[in-house]
Each structure stands twice: as structure tokens, then as C-alpha cells.
Amino acid sequence: MSDKQVIAFTEGKVGVIQLNRPRVMNALNRQMVAEIVDQAEAFDRDENIRVIIMKGNEKAFAAGADIEEMMKETPLSLEMADPFSSWDRLMLVKKPLIAVVAGFALGGGFELALHCDLIVAAENASFGFPEVKLGVMPGAGGTQYLTKAMGRAKALEWIWLGEPMSVQEAAHYGIINRITAPEMVEEEAMRLAVQLSEQAPISVRLIKEAVNKAVDTPLMEGLYFERKNFYMLFDSQDQQEGMQSFVEKRRPTFKGE
Ligand code: CO8
């Protein structure tokens, strides 16, 4: 096992995962994906953490799967290694995940950002699925996420042509949440993370569950799911604190209980 490929640290109630293969634009090899997912799960279990930030550096969030590693794969090696099961685990993280994207978020790097709940992007961010130019296609959810976000025709155009997408285009399709100057992007993401970390944690968690449910559930089923989560919150101290603080005209303090 070589050196660690992600750096993890905390700032208050925010856990930060920094992708750390700058020499290759944070290309995602298997070890790095495993470390990202293990760390995200560790923060998810950590009672002191309420929000998780995932970031790269000023040149790249991640320029896709590591092509040197990937070029040796065969259908059987992929089947046996089952690389996408790690990505499925990322979807089970219950706390908010915020991607900070400066520079390239391509292929698997774009998919990694799309696995996060919110994306804060620098003006120089560039998103895209260049896989077609390598004779393959997106494999970690790109065809599904993009089609749900922008509709079939535009998704086909982007993925077929493999062209880079600017932040303005990504914002137009609702793919990213905020755009900032490159030097402000980390600060803006941290500001958003801190704001989220001050919300009632159980509410935040059940809201994520319910919104995710809306993505591929018939409306009636989604409405029932939302209702159950709404009822459940009336068993929390945070609900009592939130409403009590309102009538007492003071700021609430949420404990996640
Ligand atoms: N894999 C391996 N090495 C990479 C990758 C990559 N994806 N991207 C960049 N590098 C390396 C370069 O080879 C170069 O290394 P060296 O200095 O040793 O030559 C170094 O990073 C710097 O890159 P460049 O010199 O090319 O920098 P430029 O600024 O000229 O260009 C680009 C930057 C545009 C990002 C360019 O490097 C590029 O096009 N990279 C490849 C992008 C790409 O095709 N990504 C898609 C990969 S396929 C994919 O993601 C499939 C996803 C499937 C699921 C995910 C599983 C993990």
C-alpha cells in the first residue's frame, strides 16, 4: 500500500476530505476512491461532525479515473474488483456532502462531485465527460445523473461530444449550487458548511433522505415518505428547542437529539 492519497481534517463541526494526487490532477485510482469513501463513512459516524466537504486543489477537483490504471482492466477484472460498490457506499452517507470544485472535474471526477449533495464551484471550474474520446463511457453514474438534471437530449449531446461544460452551463442546468471567484471558493464552501452545521442535524438528515426519495419515486410514495419523516421529527428534542426558541424570540441551539 503506497502513501495516503487523501488528507482528512476537521474544522469545528465540518469534516474535510482533500484529494491529494496533485501530480496527476487527482486522477482517481482504486486506492484513492477507497480512501475517500472510508473517510466519508468515518465522518458520517463521527458525532462531532455534521457536514462533510470534499475538495481537490486549485487546478483540479479530479480529472477522472486514473487512465494508466484503467487501461489494464478487463471485463473480468472489473467484475471481480467490483469498483463501483465503493461509489454505492458514498450514496449511503447520511450527512450533507459538499463538493468544492476548482479547475477540472472530468469523467469520474465529475461523477464524484455529482455524488455529493451540493457543489460550490470556482469560476474556472470545468465539468465534462470525455470518456467517449477514450473509447468508453461514464461508468459511475454520469449518464443517469446528467439525464435527470438536464433531460435526455442535452445529456446525450454532452456525453456524446465529451466537451467541457462551463460553470455557467452547469448552473443553468441546476447541477451546481454556487459560483465564486477561484480564491474564494473554499471560504464560500466552508461558510455554507458552517451554516448547514448549525441547522438541526436530525432535520437535515431526514430532509436529505426525503429529497433523495423524490428523485426516483412516484409522487404519492414520496409524499408518504416525507410525511413519516416529518412525524418522526416530533420525537426529537431539537423540534422542541426549535419551536420553543421561536416563541421565546431567541436563537435555537440544536444538539442532534
Ligand atoms: N489519469 C491519469 N493521469 C492523468 C489524468 C487521468 N485521468 N488526467 C491527468 N493526468 C496526468 C497527465 O498524464 C499528466 O501527467 P504527466 O505530467 O506525468 O504527463 C498530469 O496529469 C498533468 O496533466 P496534463 O499535462 O495533461 O495537464 P493539462 O493542463 O494539459 O490538461 C486535462 C489537463 C485536460 C485534465 C488533461 O490531463 C486530460 O484530458 N486528462 C484526462 C481527462 C479524462 O479523459 N478523464 C476521464 C477519464 S475516464 C473516466 O473517468 C471513467 C470514469 C469511470 C468511473 C470512475 C472510476 C474511478
- Which CATH number characterizes residue 72's domain? 3.90.226.10
Structure confidence by residue, pLDDT tens digits, 75-130: 999 999 999 999 999 999 999 999 999 999 999 999 999 999 999 999 999 999 99
Q: Which three cell numbers stand for residue 46?
A: 463521527
> Is residue 257 in some structural domain?
no
Tell me which DSSP letter residue 92 carries.
T
> Is residue 53 in some structural domain?
yes
- Backbone CA torsion sign across 130, 131, 135, 138: negative
Which value, to the nearest 10 degrees, does the dihedral of the CA atoms of residues 54, 57, 59, 60 take? -30
Is the Cβ–Cβ distance between 41 and 93 less than 8 Å? yes
- The pLDDT value given to residue 148: 93
Q: Same domain, yes or no, for 153 and 211?
A: no
- The pLDDT value given to residue 149: 93
Q: Same domain, yes or no, for 120 and 237?
A: no
Q: How far apart are CA 185 and CA 113, in angstroms?
A: 15
Give the Å distance between the CA of 79 and the centre of ligand 1: 24
Give residue 105's region: left, alpha or beta (phi > 0; psi -120 to 50).
beta
Structure confidence by residue, pLDDT tens digits, 140-181: 999 999 999 999 999 999 999 999 999 999 999 999 999 999
Q: Same domain, yes or no, for 113 and 219?
A: no
Q: Same domain, yes or no, for 216 and 187?
A: no
Q: Which of 36, 67, 137 to mutate to test the pocket of ligand 1 (most atoms within 8 A of CB)?
A: 67
**Catalytic site residue from 27, 62, 131, 155:** 131
Q: What's 152-214 look like in SS3?
A: HHHHHHHHHHCCCECHHHHHHCCCCCEEECHHHHHHHHHHHHHHHHCCCHHHHHHHHHHHHHH
- The pLDDT value given to residue 216: 85
Structure confidence by residue, pLDDT tens digits, 48-66: 999 999 999 999 999 999 9
Q: Is 48 exposed, middle or buried (CB count within 10 Å of its CB: 0-12, 13-18, 19+)?
A: exposed
The amino acid sitting at 176 is I
> Is residue 32 in some structural domain?
yes
Q: Same domain, yes or no, for 147 and 215?
A: no
User: Which atom of ligand 1 is least distant from the CA of 59?
Assistant: 29
Q: Same domain, yes or no, for 172 and 243?
A: no
Q: Closest Cα to atom 27, ligand 1: which residue?
A: 25
Q: Closest Cα to atom 39, ligand 1: which residue?
A: 63
CB of 107 sitting under 6 A from ligand 1:
yes
Does 108 participate in catalysis according to the annotation?
A: yes
Q: Same domain, yes or no, for 99 and 52?
A: yes
- The pLDDT value given to residue 3: 85
Q: How far apart are CA 39 and CA 118, in angstroms?
A: 18
Quick one: pLDDT band at residue 2, thresholds 50, 70, 90? low
Residue 231 has pLDDT above 70, yes or no: yes
Q: How far apart are CA 30 and CA 192, in angstroms?
A: 30
Q: Same domain, yes or no, for 123 and 174?
A: yes
CB of 104 sitting under 6 A from ligand 1:
yes
Q: Could you tell me the residue range of the domain that residue 210 belongs to?
A: 201-247
Is the Cβ–Cβ distance between 30 and 81 less than 8 Å? yes
Tell me which DSSP letter residue 29 carries.
-
CA distances to 86, 205, 245 from 30, in Å: 9, 29, 48
Does 193 participate in catalysis according to the annotation?
A: no
Q: What is the mean pLDDT of the chain?
A: 96
Q: Which of 25, 101, 143, 163 to mutate to test the pocket of ligand 1 (most atoms within 8 A of CB)?
A: 25
Q: Same domain, yes or no, for 13 and 97?
A: yes
Q: Same domain, yes or no, for 223 and 138?
A: no
Q: What's the whole-number mean pLDDT along residues 30-41?
A: 97
Q: How far apart are CA 136 and CA 248, in angstroms?
A: 60
> Is residue 1 in some structural domain?
no
Quick one: pLDDT band at residue 212, thresholds 50, 70, 90? very high
> Is residue 255 in some structural domain?
no
- The pLDDT value given to residue 199: 97
Quick one: pLDDT band at residue 1, thresholds 50, 70, 90? very low
Q: How far apart are CA 194 and CA 187, in angstroms?
A: 10
DSSP for 64-77, please give it: SB-HHHHTT--HHH
Structure confidence by residue, pLDDT tens digits, 174-205: 999 999 999 999 999 999 999 999 999 999 99
Q: How far apart are CA 5 and CA 55, in angstroms?
A: 13
Q: Same domain, yes or no, for 216 and 232?
A: yes
- Which CATH number characterizes residue 217's domain? 1.10.12.10
Domains of the chain: total: 2
Q: Same domain, yes or no, for 175 and 154?
A: yes
Share of the chain above pLDDT 70, in %: 99
CB of 159 sitting under 6 A from ligand 1:
no
> Is residue 254 in some structural domain?
no
User: Which atom of ligand 1 is least distant from the CA of 84?
Assistant: 56
Estimate to the nearest angstrom the gap between the alpha carbon of 134 and the chain centroid: 25
Q: Which three cell numbers stand for residue 30?
A: 482504486
